[in-house]
Chain A
């Protein structure tokens, strides 16, 4: 369910980038990976992030695995921070995503350099990237909350189903 929602988000970001300048469109796939790091367990979160990364790679111009790598880094970084620090609150979430957007773009650029014969002529830091990081940061707290609510809802549904099944077999 979360995966399908994530796929829809990745498709939506591509469609929105066609209408408004792409740097203003938040990277919803990246935010899904952030949300997965906040709420899901290690295995579920990383698998979801990797799967969404491959979908983003398929729909974008990256090599297959580039976004997947970036998303699992995002997910793992969020998980580590959530485990070791009191990582709560809108401000901290926004700040974290703002910083990590830069890290992710550097990771993308690094992976391009890894496979290219010649290095690109310009650096990664651009005005567009700063705008993109702000767009991600602004959306992150809201999106994080949405994922938390969605995951909680799915978990309660699953428990209710388990209870119902248990009662049926008990009878």
Chain B
């Protein structure tokens, strides 16, 4: 018996480990779908150990890249400056026109009050690592529960929606990107108010699903979060429609591709919205949110 075990210990260990990993996957899946998703203690330690190591590894490359960027940006700085001045002037003029129109209709005060209501605290964070897999799209950030970051909080950049916090440790968190096939967002087309589900389809492109065929969408239309579904707040920019399939397989629904406004492969700085929608509140009910957000989280209104 002992001889037999020794002879087949390789295959035996292989199947045992494969079975064990399947079991841990199942347990992790249940935890993710359950009411709490703080990382296990050993996992938290590994993640927190990774923060300084990954920062140290990235530092020289980062410095070289910034140096190169600065050098490149100097080349066209004069013409760019001129172009920017021209654009500022045009935008300023446009802004004044809008302001004029709003004041005239007496809505400015109401809109200002509404902005106050909707402003939510944001916490800046740095991306310290990213998945290399082409199938799974997630990032690791250097803020965790200690900073008020909890699972289910949306993550944005100045360009738009990035994804959702899915797991946290004391000082780090995992963020699943919107480009991941497992994540979806309820979106709305700004021009036509058409609703649908936005989902990643690989190669960092998104698809707008369940759009009825009779609605006329066109390339360039802006897609934003609808706020329905209780996961993301309303009005976060997702991207622009890239193409509309004229001959879809399903004749009742259109196949709409979206170019995300965020370049998922080049994310460096992000903001965690210290807010959870009602669906996320229900899902992660056992993870208690702080009564008030940390002081550093309260950034001025955009």
Contact = CB atoms under 8 A, between A and B. Distances in A.
B9 A58 contact: no
A127 to B, nearest CB: 6
Contacts of A43: 9-10, 13
B176 interface: yes
Contacts, number: 183
B60 to A, nearest CB: 10
A123 B276 CA distance: 32
B20 A59 contact: no
Interface residues of B, number: 61
Contact of A132 (B10, B54, B129, B132): B132
B27 A64 contact: yes
Nearest to A124: B135
Given A61-B176, A122-B181, A105 B133 contact: yes
A46 B136 CA distance: 23
A22 B17 contact: no
Contact of A122 (B14, B20, B24, B202): B202
Given A18-B130, A59-B129, A65 B24 contact: yes
Query: Which of B23, B55, B127, B129 neighbours the largest number of chain A CB atoms within 10 Å of its CB?
Result: B129
Nearest to A55: B46
Interface in A112-157: 112, 115-116, 120-124, 126-129, 132
B237 interface: no
Interface in B222-261: none
Contacts of B36: none
B22 interface: yes
B136 A61 contact: yes
Nearest to A104: B133
A12 interface: yes
A18 B127 contact: yes
B32 interface: yes
A64 B202 contact: no
Interface in B17-37: 17-18, 20-29, 32
Contact of A25 (B132, B137, B174, B177): B132
B25 A66 contact: yes
B203 A72 contact: no
B140 interface: yes
A53 interface: yes
B136 A15 contact: no
A63 B29 contact: yes
A121 B207 contact: yes
Contacts of B138: 60-62
Given A65-B22, A121-B181, A128-B134, A15 B17 contact: no
A95 interface: no
B143 to A, nearest CB: 16
Sorted nearest first, the 3 A-B pairs with minimum C-beta distance are A61-B138, A14-B129, A42-B10
7 contacts: A13-B132, A61-B137, A62-B138, A64-B27, A108-B136, A128-B203, A132-B134
Interface of B: 9-10, 13-14, 17-18, 20-29, 32, 39, 43, 46-47, 50, 53-55, 57-58, 61-62, 65, 127-140, 166, 174, 176-177, 180-182, 199, 201-204, 207, 209, 265-266, 268
Given A18-B58, A63-B24, 4 more contacts: A11-B54, A68-B21, A109-B135, A128-B134
